[in-house]
Amino acid sequence: MQIVIVTGMSGAGKTAALKFLEDFGFYCVDNLPIPLITKFVELAVNSQSSLQNVALGIDIRNHEMLPRLKTVIENLKQDHVSVRVLYLDASDECLLKRYKETRRSHPLAANSRVEYGIEKEREILGFLLEKADYVINTSQLLTRELREMLEDIFLKGENYENLIVTVVSFGFKYGIPMDADLVFDVRFLPNPFYFEEMRPLTGNDAMVRDYVMQWPQAKEFEQKLTDMIRFLIPNYISEGKTQLIIGIGCTGGKHRSVTIANALYHQLENDDGYGLRIEHRDIDKHK
């Protein structure tokens, strides 16, 4: 029998994760009191049922009993029960936005600000984050992408890398992405915007791509940037970082930044050890 503990920050997507796991054939129980987990697993193992995969949603609603969970997991593993912890996380800014959109109150905030509840929750759940087998940061994930990741892990048995690298092209005129960890300015490159035939195109079009990449400084920048990112990623992984957002910016976010972001993505896409995504934030603005 496989037991998956689904936990993490409130608002990070645990409900959606449990729904997807149920779709994958897991028997799901949300908010099971922690003292009952051992008995529940014992009954499931010894019963005549066909239960093979079980997902248990455990979160901050159980905060008074959460310290017991570490011992419960250790005891189950000693009894040779397969237990894995799936931890769903998101940035504070993303969680605040989601709470504002849904107008929900944080379970630890009481009558105070949501920020206080998030801070306190991170402190309480810290030991689970450290012990997690899988950490998925949903700040930049679409619901469809979360489902695909869970399918890869729990149905296809593919290796999952905890670090997700997102390469984002953007236009400085629309502001730097607030969640970017690294920002690179490619406005030093010749601008296709000044050529009428390329103005309506983007860095996804061959004419623009070939124009930008024909310059020696573009190729040199691509290689130096790739080398630096490949140096940084293992160090970020060793420090437990689960999300790295790399911003590539030009004036409008349509030509040079898209070209260089694509080039970096293609350099990294066959590397092992982390997940990779690309996003062109401002490509459709002011067509």
Note the pLDDT tens digit of each residue in 54-91. 999 998 888 888 888 989 998 888 888 889 999 999 88
Task: Quote the pLDDT of residue 88.
Answer: 94
Domains and CATH numbers, the chain: 2-154 (3.40.50.300), 164-280 (no CATH)
Local confidence band at 20 (pLDDT 50, 70, 90 cut-offs): very high
- Contact present, 186 and 219 (Cβ < 8 Å): no
Q: Could you tell me whether strands 53-57 and 2-8 are parallel, antiparallel, or unpaired per DSSP bridges? A: parallel
Mean pLDDT of 177-184: 92
CB atoms within 10 A of CB 217: 11
Residue with tokens 């995504």: 277
Closest to 170 in 3D by CA, of 278, 263, 280, 266? 280
Strands of 36-179, DSSP E = 53-57, 82-89, 134-137, 164-171
3-state SS string over 235-278? Answer: HHHHCCCCEEEEEEEECCCCCHHHHHHHHHHHHHCCCCCCEEEE
* DSSP line for 144-179: HHHHHHHHHHHTS-----S-EEEEEEEEGGG---TT
pTM attached to this predicted model? 0.69
What is the C-alpha to C-alpha distance for residues 188 and 142, in angstroms, rounded to an integer?
33
Note the pLDDT tens digit of each residue in 137-157. 898 888 988 998 899 888 877
Task: Quote the pLDDT of residue 245.
Answer: 93
Residue with tokens 């062109």: 280
Note the pLDDT tens digit of each residue in 22-35. 999 999 999 889 99
What is the C-alpha to C-alpha distance for residues 153 and 229, in angstroms, rounded to an integer?
26
- Of 36-45, 95-104, 218-227, 239-248, the range with the highest mean pLDDT is 218-227
Say yes or no to pLDDT of 160 above 90. no
Task: Quote the pLDDT of residue 259.
Answer: 98
